[in-house]
Structure 1
């Protein structure tokens, strides 16, 4: 695709601005079942999205098989769209900005097919030998991926970056007295030598085994610690409240709260697509705007929303470099961790509940009111120590109220493969429904 040729032709046809956004994704996916490589799938996908603007009206089109011979057909279709579609704002593409390159601190040494096969066989063997109650390795997979994105527009923007990932995923099923419990772990693999198969197997098997014999508990209101993974799931479900698009539309629970206290003073929320701690980072968003570190909530006070160019125009401000996908999205957002470990918080809590997983995030919450009612599991803390496993319970409340009832924030922030992360958080009380 001769991008400059497309841009020149677009301007000749009467379009004011043109942008060409391309992504190239190359993936290898392996699955293993009962001592055999079950599937091995490779894919390479080039996606092209073209945006055009005329008289402030914007039109877009996605193309799979891009070809210069289709240039006039595509551009004329875009021109026709701009004459039909009426944009609320006088939209413009991103102008050329100075982009400071971001440091890439994570590097992957991709395993060969033979090395992947050897590793998956080893994990299965170790898992089945770990404990006689491990009945099956229900799922075992390995994935490698490389991707790139490139943005070129008629205003002089010409940007490109690349990313990669490699990880293993495993689910095991434990059985005892006719009861089945499962657990799943995903682990990023930077290279063959740095991956500890024994530790990985121990983590996933111990989690499944601990769940055996889990029971519900009587309904109550009690101190609750949302362990880091459960806290991340809950927080991520409400992360859209920081979106400038949601605020401009009046559907965010924080629409009228900029500059006001919305969380406990212990809570500080940061968004930084440039973070070198996260697995992926970016110097620019999908609109070509430079990214930056932003304090979204500072000691409980909602300081600023996240913006794309479109949402920023609605609120008479500038983009924060969060124009990802087709809207506004955080990238590398986290709650700043505290000083002490989960175990130390449990010791001080004495008696209470630790939630390790929540389900029903799509059906069990109301975004605008922040009410939630979610199925959950975890374990009871007795005399400050991890005690019996708990299942078949529901945790409920209002997220904004919960985030104002913080006792302490843990120090166990773990980026892993995520782009939104939280440490474990101890809340003074939360409603739990059980038996």
Structure 2
């Protein structure tokens, strides 16, 4: 049976079983991915995954269950499982089924043109990307990675209060990692592009970008340890935001896992910093008209000119804080419980181009790569110590590549030391259900360990 017929039968059985508050969350994913190597198809994967999560309130306890089969037997299984699950819950925290029907805004994040593209077209595109990278420079000796993926997701929420919403999204991704040789050393650099049409993938442009960035690494050396004025390139700043995004989620704050607890209305960052969560952004990979509980979403400033306006909330955390939910309930899959997460989460752009930001930096470092963000960062305290690469800057100009350095600091403090923000907003590859972006940012000082 289809999802709507399944819902009707499940809801009827729920009523027969005495349930009054209940909800279906379903998701359907279609994934296509390929890797090519040496002008041949190296990996090819096509998958489809569909499932239904069911939760219901039973004597103020929320029972969860899920299934990947839409049949009569699964209906009985779901009802029994949520009853058993709720009976065994010892946690006193109450969850909620959303009891309103909102007006949901239209969100553009699905491309019919992309759906019409064929597998052969995608394979040909990936092969052309590898070929273009090899032809971009005689220094290219290998291709560490060349791949392309196309992802489609459909999500929906139906509940006993009349919420009935669905959303569909898709995107295409291509990435290339050329390896260049100079003397006895090799260097590599990853470049990627995300789009909504196969025409958005331009092999020559992407390959040339990756090879040029790899060649810029040639001759890299360390620098003397000390405190440096730095520019974090847009993708690096976005990666740091990704690493510490949990600090802005109210569930973490209420558990004492964020130093932003009870800081709403206070200055937590430089006046140059405005941090946006925008689930309605056109073509955002985390764009959605509703959150994981069926609440209508909206754009919001989490930090506005340095002041913490709000943490991100779902219904449960909002009830604890006695505020309205921000529409940030997260449910990455039908098998997941409700949590909190950003959507399209990014620092608002400033007034300066990348070149102007380097000019304002004057003397210092441009950081273009971080490694080990999961192992070398503490998401609770904000401390980080990360291997990094970049470039030395003098007189506002890049003068030489830098490698074998470690940058260390504290994310909470770093926010206060942002002097300027660029206008070159870039989003990195999505992480979980969230999509992180940032312009390049100028930091007044950062500890660097080198030679």
What CA distance in whole angstroms lies between the structure 1 residues aligned with 2:374 and 2:172?
A: 28
TM-score by length of 2: 0.92
SS at match of 1:365: coil
Alignment of 1:36-435 (within 5 A): 36-104=40-108, 107=111, 109-110=113-114, 111-276=117-282, 278-325=284-331, 326-415=338-427, 417-418=429-430, 419-435=435-451
Runs of 5+ in structure 1 lacking a partner? none
Residues 106 and 55 of structure 1: CA distance in aligned 2, closer, same or farther (over 3 Å): closer
Contact 2:234 2:439 in 1 (8 A): yes
1:8 corresponds, among 9, 12, 31, to 12
Contact 1:187 1:416 in 2 (8 A): no
What CA distance in whole angstroms lies between the structure 1 residues aligned with 2:263 and 2:355?
A: 35
Which shifted more, 332-341 or 277-286?
277-286
SS at match of 2:104: coil
2:28 corresponds, among 24, 27, 32, to 24
**Once the 2 structures are TM-superposed, how far is the Cα of residue 280 of structure 1 from its aligned partner?**
4.3
SS at match of 1:42: strand
Contact 2:98 2:161 in 1 (8 A): yes
What CA distance in whole angstroms lies between the structure 2 residues aligned with 1:412 and 1:146?
A: 28
Residues 218 and 166 of structure 1: CA distance in aligned 2, closer, same or farther (over 3 Å): same
Contact 1:20 1:48 in 2 (8 A): yes
Residues 425 and 107 of structure 1: CA distance in aligned 2, closer, same or farther (over 3 Å): same
**Once the 2 structures are TM-superposed, how far is the Cα of residue 318 of structure 1 from its aligned partner?**
2.4
**Once the 2 structures are TM-superposed, how far is the Cα of residue 240 of structure 1 from its aligned partner?**
1.1
Runs of 5+ in structure 2 lacking a partner? 332-337
What CA distance in whole angstroms lies between the structure 1 residues aligned with 2:140 and 2:154?
A: 40
Contact 2:171 2:197 in 1 (8 A): no
Contact 1:147 1:163 in 2 (8 A): yes
The CA deviation string for residues 330-357 of structure 1, in whole angstroms up to 9 with x for no partner, is 0011111111112112123221100011
Residues 106 and 345 of structure 1: CA distance in aligned 2, closer, same or farther (over 3 Å): farther
Residues 91 and 188 of structure 1: CA distance in aligned 2, closer, same or farther (over 3 Å): closer
Aligned to 2:37: 33
**Once the 2 structures are TM-superposed, how far is the Cα of residue 193 of structure 1 from its aligned partner?**
3.9
SS at match of 1:426: strand
What CA distance in whole angstroms lies between the structure 2 residues aligned with 1:393 and 1:344?
A: 25
Poorly superposed stretches of 4+, deviation over 4 Å: none
Contact 1:56 1:87 in 2 (8 A): no
Residues 279 and 72 of structure 1: CA distance in aligned 2, closer, same or farther (over 3 Å): closer
What CA distance in whole angstroms lies between the structure 2 residues aligned with 1:31 and 1:303?
A: 44
Which shifted more, 424-433 or 414-423?
414-423
